[in-house]
Amino acid sequence: MTVTRLLLRTRAAAHIAAVVPAYNVARELPEVLRAMPALFTTIIVVDDASSDDTAAVAEHYSQIDPRVVVVRHEKNRGVGGAMISGFKHAIDAGADVVVKIDGDGQMPLWLVPELVQPLIDGTADYTKGNRFRDFQAIRAMPLVRRLGNVILSFLTKAATGYWNAFDPANGFLAIRCDVLSQIPLDKIDRGYFFETSMLSHLYLLGAVVKEIPMPARYAGETSSLSIAQVLHQFPPRLFWSLVRRLTMKNFVYDFNLESFHLATGLPLLLAGLVYGGYHWWWYTSRGLAAPVGTVVLSALLITLGTQLLISAVNLDLQAIPREPINTGPIVREDARPQTSELSPRTPST
């Protein structure tokens, strides 16, 4: 199917809303709004308390394009906070699918049909871009940034449970509204951890995530997310996401073989480390050789605990959601008009 036919079929079948988190992007926003594909029924620009003319630019285009609706924040809430406001307005507008389009012009808008089609067909609940399929562009990525993305992606896989997903910080994403309405939006992270926080909540719902290859832009591009921010913010949040996911999945929503392996393996490993470590210190500090029984018992506890945890990891790898939780393909007998249902035009939240 060609992109043109795909776009026409998608536009006729579903109400697709674009949410544009905008903070000090007065120069880039006009080009983004002019390039918006016709398949978007509603375009929600969330001015996150910008200090430049972003709000004025958005207001101007709302008079030109009836699809454009402006939401203004009195205080800056971060990209996650802007998206949460946009999500809520898209749901109120009756959207079937919501797409995140950054206001800085970095998103490949020509790939929007490919991003939303799995959602329209009902084969996925959430789609996101993956820049690591573009091998030519990846070669232009600075080595430090490349290694950082690889490490961050692996840690995110463990924290969210989506072992088949990569490039977690990618903000080119779309979600079905019948799935979005099941997420506690007030618990989504407001900052740069937004995308990972979304994945963490989606996993607990059992949502299917599909990745769409997209080009990477790294030549001369400066990331708004610094290495210092990543090191300071992400590790503790990833750790607590992992703990929350494993606890909810294995001891609240269900109790299965993985639950048993975790419940027995972790205590055994900790007991072996504490028992062995204490006796190693006690005998070493006195210049004595530890009894064989003490050494064997410690090694046995550590070995059993490690084996059980490895089995738990293997079971977790097999537990990636594969059946969509959405209500099925989106088919509407009457296409929606290309105007927004939101009123008034510039709500303030």
Mean pLDDT of all residues in 68-83: 94
Q: Are residues 112 and 47 in the same domain?
A: yes
- Per-residue pLDDT at 225: 52
Mean pLDDT of all residues in 52-63: 94
Q: Are residues 111 and 49 in the same domain?
A: yes
Half-sphere exposure of 77 (CA within 13 A, CB side): 22
- Per-residue pLDDT at 191: 84
Give domain status of residue 210, yes or no: yes
Residue 121, classed as helix, strand or coil, is: helix
CA 34 to chain centre: 27
123-174: pLDDT as tens digits: 999 999 988 876 766 776 777 777 777 888 899 999 999 999 888 778 899 9
Higher pLDDT, 228 or 271: 271
Residue 164, classed as helix, strand or coil, is: coil
Residue 20, classed as helix, strand or coil, is: strand
Q: Is-contact 79 125, C-beta < 8 A?
A: no
Q: Are residues 272 and 124 in the same domain?
A: no
By residue range, what is the domain housing residue 284? Answer: 255-317
Give domain status of residue 149, yes or no: yes
DSSP, residue by residue, 128-146: EEEGGG-HHHHTTS-HHHH
Q: Are residues 307 and 219 in the same domain?
A: no
| Structure confidence at residue 106 as a pLDDT band (50, 70, 90) | confident
Give domain status of residue 342, yes or no: no
Domains of the chain: total: 2
Q: Cα 334–339–340 angle (5° rounding)? A: 105
Q: Are residues 113 and 42 in the same domain?
A: yes
| Whole-prediction pTM | 0.85
Mean pLDDT of the chain: 87
Q: Are residues 281 and 209 in the same domain?
A: no
Q: Is-contact 325 207, C-beta < 8 A?
A: yes
Q: Are residues 189 and 292 in the same domain?
A: no
Q: List Cβ neighbours of 234 (8 Å cut-off, separation of 6 or more).
A: 152, 155, 193, 196
CATH of the domain at 129: 3.90.550.10
Q: Are residues 189 and 281 in the same domain?
A: no
- Per-residue pLDDT at 230: 61
Q: Are residues 185 and 259 in the same domain?
A: no
Give domain status of residue 49, yes or no: yes
245-267: pLDDT as tens digits: 999 999 999 999 999 999 999 99
Give domain status of residue 322, yes or no: no
- Per-residue pLDDT at 146: 75
**Burial class (CB within 10 angstroms; exposed 0-12, middle 13-18, buried 19+) of 10:** buried
Q: Are residues 115 and 262 in the same domain?
A: no
303-332: pLDDT as tens digits: 999 999 999 999 999 999 999 999 999 876
| Structure confidence at residue 336 as a pLDDT band (50, 70, 90) | very low
Extract the runs of DSSP E, i.e. beta strands, from the chain.
16-22, 40-47, 68-72, 97-100, 126-130, 173-176, 209-213
| Structure confidence at residue 221 as a pLDDT band (50, 70, 90) | very low
DSSP, residue by residue, 41-71: EEEEEEE-S-SSSHHHHHHHHHHH-TTEEEE
Give domain status of residue 141, yes or no: yes
Is 60 exceeded by the pLDDT of residue 1?
Answer: no
How many angstroms separate the CA atoms of 240 and 185, rounded? 18
Is 80 exceeded by the pLDDT of residue 202?
Answer: yes
Q: In which residue are the tokens 């109400």 written? A: 15
Q: Are residues 218 and 259 in the same domain?
A: no
Is 60 exceeded by the pLDDT of residue 227?
Answer: no
23-34: pLDDT as tens digits: 999 999 999 999
Give domain status of residue 72, yes or no: yes
Is 80 exceeded by the pLDDT of residue 3?
Answer: no
Q: Is-contact 189 107, C-beta < 8 A?
A: no
Mean pLDDT of all residues in 86-102: 96
Give domain status of residue 325, yes or no: no
Would you tell me how many other CB atoms lie within 10 Å of the CB of residue 325? Answer: 15
Task: Give φ, ψ of 324 to 5 degrees.
Answer: -60, 150
Mean pLDDT of all residues in 216-245: 70
Q: Are residues 120 and 266 in the same domain?
A: no
- Per-residue pLDDT at 219: 44
- Per-residue pLDDT at 89: 96
Q: Is-contact 82 23, C-beta < 8 A?
A: yes
